[in-house]
Amino acid sequence: MTHPSTTGPAPVLALKDVSKSFGAVRALRDVSLELFPGEVHALAGENGAGKSTLIKTLAGVHRPDAGQVLLDGAPVAFHGPGDARDAGIAVIYQEPTLFPDLSIAENIYMGRQPRRALGRIDHKATHNATAALMERLGVELDPDRPARGLSIADQQIVEIAKALSFDARVLIMDEPTAALTGSEVARLFGVVRTLRHQGAAVLFISHRLEEIFEICRRVTTLRDGAWVASEPLEGMTEDDLVRRMVGRDLDELYPKQEVEPGEVALSVRRLTREGVFTDVSFDVRHGEIVGLAGLVGAGRTEVARAVFGIDRWDAGEVSVHGKALVKGAPSTAMAAGVALVPEDRRAQGLVMDMSIERNIGLTGLRTTVKAGLVDRGAERSRSLDWAVRLQVKYARIADTVNTLSGGNQQKVVLAKWLATGPKVLIVDEPTRGIDVGTKAEVHRLLSQLAADGVAVLMISSDLPEILGMADRVLVMHEGRLTAEIPRTDATEETVMAAATGRAAA
Q: Residue 439 contacts by C-beta under 8 Å, 6 or more apart in sequence?
A: 207, 253, 407, 431
Q: What is the dihedral of CA 485, 487, 490, 491, to 10 degrees?
A: 170
Q: How near is the Cβ of 442 to another protein at its closest, in Å?
A: 17
CB closer to another protein out of 1 and 395 = 395
Name the residue type at position 54. L
Q: Residue 203 contacts by C-beta under 8 Å, 6 or more apart in sequence?
A: 33, 35, 41, 42, 43, 55, 58, 170, 171, 172, 173
CB closer to another protein out of 181 and 405 = 405
Q: How near is the Cβ of 232 to another protein at its closest, in Å?
A: 25
CA pair distance 183, 327, nearest whole angstrom: 34
Strand 89-92 and strand 170-174: the pairing is parallel
The residues of the shown chain that bind another protein, judged by CB under 8 A, are 21-25, 27, 47-53, 310, 330-331, 333-334, 340, 342, 347-355, 358, 361-363, 365-366, 369, 372-374, 393-395, 398, 400, 403-406, 416
Q: How near is the Cβ of 485 to another protein at its closest, in Å?
A: 30
Q: How near is the Cβ of 25 to another protein at its closest, in Å?
A: 5
Q: How near is the Cβ of 275 to another protein at its closest, in Å?
A: 20
CB closer to another protein out of 70 and 350 = 350
Q: How near is the Cβ of 325 to another protein at its closest, in Å?
A: 13
Give strand pairing partners of 33.
Answer: 15
Q: How near is the Cβ of 368 to another protein at its closest, in Å?
A: 9
CB closer to another protein out of 118 and 373 = 373
CA pair distance 269, 172, nearest whole angstrom: 46
Decide: 308 and 330 in contact? Cβ < 8 Å.
yes
CB closer to another protein out of 21 and 113 = 21
CB closer to another protein out of 164 and 333 = 333
Angle separating helix axes 182-197 and 152-165, nearest 10 degrees: 10
CA pair distance 245, 51, nearest whole angstrom: 12
Decide: 455 and 288 in contact? Cβ < 8 Å.
yes
Q: How many whole angstroms from its chain centre is CA 179?
A: 5
CB closer to another protein out of 49 and 455 = 49
Secondary structure string (H, E, C) spanning 463-492: HHHHHHHCCEEEEEECCEEEEEEEHHHCCH
Q: How many whole angstroms from its chain centre is CA 455?
A: 25
Q: CA dist 92 to 23, 332, 431, 432, Å?
A: 28, 42, 22, 18
Q: How near is the Cβ of 122 to another protein at its closest, in Å?
A: 38
Q: How near is the Cβ of 370 to another protein at its closest, in Å?
A: 10
